[in-house]
A = this chain, B = another copy of it.
Amino acid sequence: MDIVKGLEAWSRLLGQDSIIVDSQVLQTYQTATYTTSAQILAILKPSNRQQISPLVKIANEYSIPLYPISGGRNWGYGSRVPVKDGCIILDLGNLTEITDYNEELAYVTLEPGVTQGQLYQFLQERHSPLWMDATGAGLGSSLIGNVMERGFGHTPYGDRFSQVCGLEVVLPTGECIHTGFGRFPNAQAASVYRWGVGAYLDGLFTQSNLGIVTQMTFWLMPAPECFGAFSFSIDKDEELPALLDALRPLRLDDTLRSAIHVGNHYKVLSSVRLYPWAEMEGKTPLSLAVIEQLSKSWDYKAWNGFGGLYGSREQVAAARRLLKKALAGKVARLTFLDDRKLQWGERLAPLYQKITGIRLPEMLKIMRPVYDLMKGIPSSRFLESTYWRKKTPIPEEMEPNRDGCGLIWCAPVVPLDGKHAAVINRMATETILSHGFEPMLSLTLLTGRCLGCIISISYDRAVEGEDERAMACYKELSAKLTGEGYYPYRLGIQSMDLLAKAEDSYQHLMDQLKQTLDPKGILAPGRYQP
């Protein structure tokens, strides 16, 4: 590794301003929402995507490892911090061009620096009849960055990786390729057909360190004539399996076209307010007595679900009836919500609170962004929950890394079958409580066949010893889950070694692929590598 010569070469290529070595800035990049140890050497911020290929060639020439990030909002999974020590961060945040947009065929092509907020703005400005898919990661979250991790969103296009195509990838050697039909001259169908002809390679570049995606096409969803949301609750853990089993057929037959989220009371409480320090007299973890007492004023139950219905008026009405029928006797409550009802609710909420004591105005403050998310409207509102255990007020501009918000995510995938959900719930709840944290669980019906279980360990990094306790909790939970055959859909930088559990032949294949595509090992060493 010859770092000095490398920086000189990059400086000639990018200009001095695009290279950051200031130790304070470096410090912010190597800070996540939990303990990490990797130190970085510098940050490169190229200003256009033509610079990526020569930039990567320089990294090869001087054997300097690069760690690419897009928006860098990988909160709970390691933020912007590399897996290994001694990398240069390649920050693609300035590559913000939207290079193609087709309203008829419903797609947009864009660069890694394009955020959810930017695309939403772009569509708004054009009065576009198309919806994007959005996640709860905030306005500044990169669309490509999220797909690279195979994140999922809240609209019918929520299984994001299945709604993209036409990748431009700079390989670890600096060569640039286009996947699908895009590799052929004048290809007419490059942005509308995923598979192209010959081997389909897109998957190789997600959750890996085999290439830097510098452009991607996202399919957009035509705004439906009608959108309706619904929410439901159950009183007890014991009712959870039957609830999920009742939802499965509707998700399988596409009556429910988007992911349905079912969160426990801890999850709901943490999304509407910070930790109730006063009620708990400063103690942790949250007692069942207090969470039940608070459930009255916030009107949540043991498990609370929501989802969206999309289609023509008639189609939505048909879906609503099927849902009612399926959940009859399975839920304590089932509520349908549409634009008009939500607006009225917002107007009448203060009055409602006066009469019932239920904090509807505050509840709606979170309901509105949840509702919007299902319509592809991104919001930064959900970041507030990362401040759960903080004793200081939430700042105007949230930055969980900077503010010492502790957050570790653990996200096993399980078959969509009530029995499995009960096992996961018991395992996660017991383990997290035993470590002194709140077991916040959200079960997402990703498809009709599987649940994505999003389990968060939320804490205050400013509290002495909490970093260690939280990580110990995570490690124990992760070991228990994988021990029972429940593997995560995505990994934080601290748990790449989980991949070593794979059969030897598979690991050997992955090693060979890495060796072939990245002979000098310069791209994101250790990322999705055991």
- Interface of A with B (CB < 8 Å)? 104-107, 150, 156, 161-162, 171, 175-178, 181, 183-189, 192-193, 195-208, 210, 219, 221-222, 224, 248-249, 252-255, 257, 311-312, 314-315, 318-319, 321-322, 413-417, 420, 446-450, 482, 484-491, 498-499, 501-503, 505-506, 508-510, 512-513, 515-517, 528
A491 → chain B, closest Cβ, in Å? 6
Q: Is the CB of B203 within 8 A of A489?
A: no
Contact B105 A415 (CB under 8 A): yes
B318 and A177 form a contact (CB under 8 A): no
The answer to whether A193 and B318 have CB atoms under 8 Å apart is: no
Cβ–Cβ < 8 Å partners of A206 in chain B: 195, 199-200
**Cβ–Cβ contact B487 & A189, under 8 A:** yes
Question: Is the Cβ of A415 less than 8 Å from the Cβ of B192?
Answer: yes
CB <8 Å contact, B189 and A199: no
Quick check: B413 and A181 within 8 Å, CB to CB? yes
A-B contact pairs, 11 of them (CB 8 A): A175-B505, A181-B487, A183-B502, A184-B482, A188-B485, A192-B415, A198-B207, A199-B510, A202-B203, A224-B253, A314-B321
Given A104-B417, A219-B449: A509 in contact with B207 (beta carbons within 8 A): no
Closest residue of chain B to A185 (Cβ to Cβ) is B501
Q: How many of these chains are in the complex?
A: 2
Q: Are B188 and A199 in contact (CB under 8 A)?
A: no
Pick the residue among B257, B415, B486, B487 that contacts A254 (CB under 8 A): B257
Known A185-B485, A417-B104, A449-B219; judge A204-B207 contact (CB<8 A). Answer: no
A321 nearest in chain B by CB position: B314
Cα separation A487 to B515 with both chains bound (whole Å): 32
The smallest C-beta distance from A23 to any residue of chain B, in angstroms, reads 34
B203 touches A208 (CB 8 A): no
- What is the bound-complex CA distance between A248 and B181, given in angstroms? 21
Neighbour of A193 across the interface among B177, B187, B219, B489, CB < 8 A: B489
CB of B312 within 8 A of CB of A315, answer no
Q: Which chain B residues border A184 with CB–CB below 8 Å? A: 482, 485, 487, 501-503
CA distance A301 to B178 in the complex (A): 41
Instruction: Report which of B107, B254, B487 forms a contact with A449, defined as CB distance below 8 A.
Output: B107
Instruction: Tell which of B181, B199, B501, B515 touches A528, judged by Cβ atoms closer than 8 Å.
Output: B199
A254 contact set on B, CB distance < 8 A: 156, 254, 257
Neighbour of A322 across the interface among B193, B221, B312, B486, CB < 8 A: B312
- Contact flag A413-B193 (CB < 8 Å), given A204-B201, A506-B183: yes
A143, chain B: closest CB distance, angstroms: 18
Q: How far is the CA of A333 from the CA of B192 in the complex (A)?
A: 30
Q: How far is the CB of A295 from chain B (nearest CB, A)?
A: 32
Whether the pair A508, B175 counts as a contact (CB closer than 8 A) is yes
Q: How far is the CB of A471 from chain B (nearest CB, A)?
A: 20
Q: Nearest chain-B residue to A224 (Cβ)?
A: B253
The answer to whether A318 and B312 have CB atoms under 8 Å apart is yes
Determine which of B311, B505, B515 lies in contact with A176 in the assembled complex, contact meaning CB atoms within 8 Å: B505
- Is the beta-carbon distance between B413 and A253 smaller than 8 angstroms? no
Look across to chain B and name the residue whose beta carbon is closest to the beta carbon of A322.
B312
- Closest Cβ of chain B to A152, distance in Å, is 10
Contact A420 B188 (CB under 8 A): yes
Contacts of A208 in B (CB 8 A): 198-199
Closest B residue to A219 by beta carbon equals: B449
Residues of B contacting A498 with CB < 8 Å? 197
When distances are taken between beta carbons in the complex, the residues of chain B under 8 Å from A210 are: 199
Docked pose: A204 CA to B199 CA in angstroms? 5
Contact A449 B253 (CB under 8 A): no
- B residues less than 8 Å from A505 (CB atoms): 171, 175-177
Complex formed: what's the CA distance from A104 to B449 in Å?
A: 9
Residues in B with CB closer than 8 Å to A221 are 253
Contacts of A318 in B (CB 8 A): 311-312, 314-315, 318
Pairwise interchain contact B198-A414, C-beta atoms closer than 8 A? no
When chains A and B are docked, how far (Å) is the Cα of A19 from the Cα of B122? 63
Question: B189 contacts A197, CB within 8 Å?
Answer: no
Closest to A207 in B: B198
CB distance from A74 to the nearest CB of B (A): 15
* From B198, B484, B489, contact of A510 by CB (8 A): B198
| Complex alpha-carbon distance, A210 and B185, angstroms | 25
Could you tell me the distance between the alpha carbons of A482 and B107 in the complex, rounded to whole angstroms? Answer: 23
Chain B residues within 8 Å of A508, by CB = 175
CA of A424 to CA of B517 in the docked complex: distance in angstroms?
Answer: 38
Instruction: Please indicate the chain B residues that have their CB under 8 angstroms from the CB of A486 in the complex.
Output: 188-189
B residues within 8 A CB of A104? 248, 417
Task: Pick from B257, B488, B512: contact of A516, CB below 8 A.
Answer: B512
Give 4 A-B pairs besides A188-B415, A192-B447 with Cβ atoms closer than 8 angstroms: A181-B413, A184-B485, A254-B257, A315-B319
Q: What residues on B are CB-neighbors of A107 within 8 Å?
A: 449
- Chain B residues closer than 8 Å to A222, beta-carbon distance: 249, 252-253
Least Cβ–Cβ distance between A48 and chain B, in angstroms: 19
